[in-house]
Chain A
Amino acid sequence: MRLKILTVDDSKTVRIIVKKSFKGFDCEITEAQNGVEGLAMAAKVDPDIILLDITMPVMDGVEMLTKLKSDPSLKAIPVIMLTAEAGRENVMKIAKIGVRDYIVKPFKEEVLVDKVSRVVDLRPAGEAEPKQKKIDDPIEVLVVDDKPAIIEQIKQGFSHTPWNVNGVSSTGEAIDFCQKKLPDCIIISLSLPEDAAITLFRIIRSNAKTKYVPLFGLSVKTAVEEQHRAQQAGFSTIIHKPIDFDELENKIGKAVNLDTSGKYFQMADGFMTVRLPKTCNASVVQEVGNYLKEKTSEAVNSGISKIIFDAQEVASLNMDVIKLLLQSMKTCRDLSLSYALAGNAVVRDESKKFEESKDWQFCDSVETAKASL
């Protein structure tokens, strides 16, 4: 997504210089000539950053900044003031209202670009957007907890993944970490002293660089009060201790928008195998179902015409799984693909109990299923 920069200046010259400065970057510049137009434009385009002049007719930059910071839907937009007036009095006044930085005119274009890139992720034009990460790609998980044992437990819990779990014990260390390396997700202990979790949440959400990083609160299930406060502050996902790592892995995968299809779909030797995991709850079934169409097309396009549905690890057959398999088998028939089922004894027994699956034939291994086609 292109970065959106709003320049608010009564001088067309400055607006042209701003456009010229960012010509080589992947961003879209919108313009406003005074504070009134600036506020309207900010509400309309939701910019990632605003470059704001101070001395302007109609509504000056200080008044616009004051109004912007009192509007809940606009106050998180970072502002850099661009001004010819750098007196102490002025700087103190705008600092109190809340600006990220200020640039005194005259200025070099490089200075403008440098200051903006410290606040937002400025990418050169033509540079590809980061590719969607896959389940087996390393991602950076930051855990903020003052209890080393919990950090160690999370590291152990994800030791089967290529994920890098980084532990820090305080808000300051977490901010320092984010400045050096942007984590893919952050897990914050809600029991940090002095409501530090909520403070950290606000700092992360008000920084343009980190505002989209998924955040999880971590709390003992019975600590209802701290969870309630965290939810009020804006935490939307809270992980309970003791941690269910399958659940946490799924939640992180979704929040980070990981391509998790590799967990379920494998293509090799002329076969596509759809492997269903041990815990096949509704969210897992939905996840597999979401990838099914795309993966089946991919298989067909690469010349694969045989599909194996592998339910050997499934602990229990439920209606969600049956519906998924029914839908998958129908897709295979529609596309004239041949398919076979592999399942353990429990799955075979349970399938007899449902009208929809009572006639299904399961092979006892993937190899047998492949041989049957």
Chain B
Amino acid sequence: MQQTFPISDQELEALSTNAVNSVFNTMLNQTAVVQEVIKVDEENYDGGMSVPIDSSEPVIAGTVGFLGNLTGIMYIFMELSLAMDATCELLGLEAEEIGYEDHELVNDAIGELTNMIVGTFKNDLSNKGYECRMTIPSILRGSNFSIEPAEVALRRIYKYDCGGRSFVIDVLMKEEN
């Protein structure tokens, strides 16, 4: 039986976009626009689902969870070249100063961007009366990601365009009784 979720789709998209743009505008001087929204509910859920990111190169995924009245997890997926550009902008460095091999620094930068995005999202939830705590960010690298979530009431995948390049925010959450 599907749980009725207390936040509407419209509100959730606004929360996600506000979180993304608050971080992108402040830290990267960029703006992102929603290109596509994929709704995954219990009714149409049929197992693991590939992340809709257009990339022939490795993808980096940052993830932070939140626990409280609302419990869930947010992922940000982006191709490695976009992650490199974001790291350079964030730290005021040139690409040569980082290098594709410096996984640690790029991982850390994407982890921190994810932390800020989820933090903003979580703070907006808090202002709506849903108090929760965040987990420490973690990072995954690879290709052809497929997320097979544990039991959740709601999953929304937002594909954003940022200066002609795309990245994905995947939100999975449920309300705790």
- B-binding residues in A (CB < 8 A): 10-14, 16-17, 20, 55-57, 83-89, 104-108
Interface segment out of the listed B3-11, B44-52, B108-116: B108-116
Give chain A nearest CB distance to B22 CB in angstroms.
Answer: 6
**Alpha-carbon gap, A90 to B126, bound state (A):** 10
Chain B contact surface mostly: helix
Q: Which residues of A contact B120 (CB under 8 A)?
A: 84, 106
| Interface residue ranges of B93-126 to A (CB < 8 Å) | 104-105, 108-109, 111-112, 115-116, 118-120, 122-123, 126
Asked if residues B92 and A20 are in contact (CB atoms below 8 Å), the reply is yes
Q: Chain A: interface secondary structure?
A: loop
Q: Are the CB atoms of B23 and A11 closer together than 8 Å?
A: no
Q: From B110, which residue of chain A is reached at the shortest CB distance?
A: A13
A-B contact pairs, 14 of them (CB 8 A): A12-B104, A12-B105, A12-B108, A13-B90, A13-B111, A16-B91, A84-B120, A84-B134, A85-B123, A86-B123, A87-B131, A88-B126, A106-B120, A108-B26
Residues on A with beta carbons closer than 8 Å to the beta carbon of B122: 84-85, 87
Question: Which residues in chain B, 23-38, are within 8 Å of chain A measured between CB atoms?
Answer: 23, 26-27
B106: shortest Cβ distance to chain A, in Å?
Answer: 10
Q: Which 5 pairs show the lowest CB-CB distances between chains A and B?
A: A84-B119, A87-B126, A106-B26, A13-B112, A13-B109
Report how far A14 CA is from B90 CA in the complex, Å.
9
CB closest residue in chain B, given A108: B26
- A85, B134: Cβ atoms closer than 8 Å: yes
A235 CB, min distance to chain B CBs, angstroms: 44
Inter-chain CA distance A108–B108, complex, in Å, is: 19
CA distance A16 to B93 in the complex (A): 10
Contact residues in A for B116 (Cβ distance below 8 Å): 84, 105-106
Residues of A within 8 A of B134 (CB): 55, 84-85
Question: B136 touching A57 by the CB < 8 A rule?
Answer: yes
In the complex, the chain A residue whose C-beta lies closest to that of B106 is: A13
Residues of A within 8 A of B115 (CB): 11, 55, 84, 105
Q: Which A residues lie within 8 Å of B108 (CB)?
A: 11-13
Closest A residue, CB atoms, query B137: A11
The answer to whether B126 and A107 have CB atoms under 8 Å apart is: no
Q: Are A17 and B118 neighbours in the complex by a CB distance under 8 Å?
A: no
Minimum CB distance partner of B92 in chain A: A20
A11 lies within 8 A of B111 (CB) = yes
B94 to chain A, nearest CB (A): 14
Most B CB within 10 A of own CB, among A55, A56, A87: A87
Contact B27 A106 (CB under 8 A): yes
Q: A105-B115, A106-B22 are in contact. Are A10 and B123 (CB under 8 A)?
A: no
Q: How far is the CA of A14 from the CA of B27 in the complex (A)?
A: 11
Find A87's partner among B92, B105, B123 (CB 8 Å cutoff): B123
Q: For B121, give the chain A residue with the smallest CB separation.
A: A84
Nearest CB on B from A214, distance (A)? 41
Distance to closest chain B CB from A320 (angstroms): 61
